[in-house]
């Protein structure tokens, strides 16, 4: 894997909106060849058009990260179209905030499926490829809620993000060598994630996000991890608004 960002092939899940879209645009501006994947093809096409209009290279792939066969197929298609894959950014996520006493198991299932299983399915699809290439980089989006439990309301969300952080560190220890693993733990970021909450906590969530930082701040942090020399592995980055206590 080459030093820097230019020329690297980067696949980003949740790439049609928010942090995923901003990261795709930012990395493309630095010379990355970008593949973006998400469920909404119309949003993906808008991001691709924006990147291409600025002289970048990008392709879109429809993907539901809870479908492991489809995830593997998207990784294979990326390699077929670009010739390789250097970085996988597991970004797709869901954050419905609700006190556990309300017992919404559908939301619990969705968070486990998207936040946790989706990350694992990405790892499962790309890891054999990275081993065969003798290089690669996983960037897994966790959260400050994966460092400190966000309760009441965010208990299950925190559980999934703690798991992403633990899996990232365990993966790093297991594969080591020439494959890098980075866990990004953002605080409040201005994106669609806050709209995942539709229950009794919706008002509190919207108030909390009034101090949110732009997605570009996280995109720059991701780029910092990617652009390091091959012998440097940035394992964790925690960033949040200066005004955020949690």
| Catalytic sites, residue numbers | 157
117 alpha-carbon distance from chain centroid: 13
Measured CA to CA, the distance from residue 194 to residue 95 in angstroms comes to: 7
Tokens of 155: 């208990």
User: 40 — phi, psi (to 5°)?
Assistant: -95, 100
Which residue in the block uniquely carries the two structure tokens 């630095």? 30
3-state secondary structure of 84: coil
241 alpha-carbon distance from chain centroid: 19
Work out whether strand 33-38 and strand 136-141 pair parallel, antiparallel, or are unpaired.
unpaired
Q: Report which of 195, 242, 187, 178 is spatially closest to residue 218, judged by C-alpha positions.
A: 187
Measured CA to CA, the distance from residue 8 to residue 94 in angstroms comes to: 28
Most distant CA pair in the chain: distance in Å? Answer: 51
Measured CA to CA, the distance from residue 10 to residue 87 in angstroms comes to: 5
Burial of 104: CB neighbours in 10 Å, binned 0-12, 13-18, 19+? middle
3-state secondary structure of 19: helix
Tokens of 64: 């539901």
């Amino acid at each position: 894997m080459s030093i820097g960002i230019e020329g690297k092939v980067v696949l980003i899940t949740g790439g049609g909106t928010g942090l995923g879209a901003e990261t795709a645009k930012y990395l493309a501006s630095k010379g990355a060849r970008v593949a973006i994947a998400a469920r909404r093809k119309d949003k993906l096409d808008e991001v691709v058009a924006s990147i291409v209009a600025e002289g970048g290279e990008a392709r879109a792939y429809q993907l539901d990260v809870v479908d492991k066969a489809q995830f593997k197929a998207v990784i294979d298609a990326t390699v077929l179209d670009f010739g390789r894959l250097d970085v996988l950014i597991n970004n797709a996520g869901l954050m419905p905030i609700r006190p556990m006493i309300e017992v919404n198991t559908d939301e619990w299932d969705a968070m486990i499926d998207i936040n946790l299983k989706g990350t694992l399915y990405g790892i499962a699809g790309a890891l054999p490829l990275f081993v065969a290439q003798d290089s690669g980089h996983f960037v897994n989006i966790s959260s400050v809620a994966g460092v400190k439990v966000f309760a009441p309301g965010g208990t299950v969300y925190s559980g999934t993000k703690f798991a992403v952080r633990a899996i990232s560190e365990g993966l790093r220890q297991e594969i080591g060598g020439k494959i890098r693993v980075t866990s990004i733990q953002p605080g409040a970021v201005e994106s669609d994630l806050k709209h995942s909450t539709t229950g009794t906590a919706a008002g509190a969530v919207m108030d909390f996000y009034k101090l949110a930082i732009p997605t570009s701040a996280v995109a720059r942090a991701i780029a910092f991890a990617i652009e390091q020399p091959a012998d440097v592995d940035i394992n964790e980055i925690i960033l949040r608004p200066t005004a955020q206590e949690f």
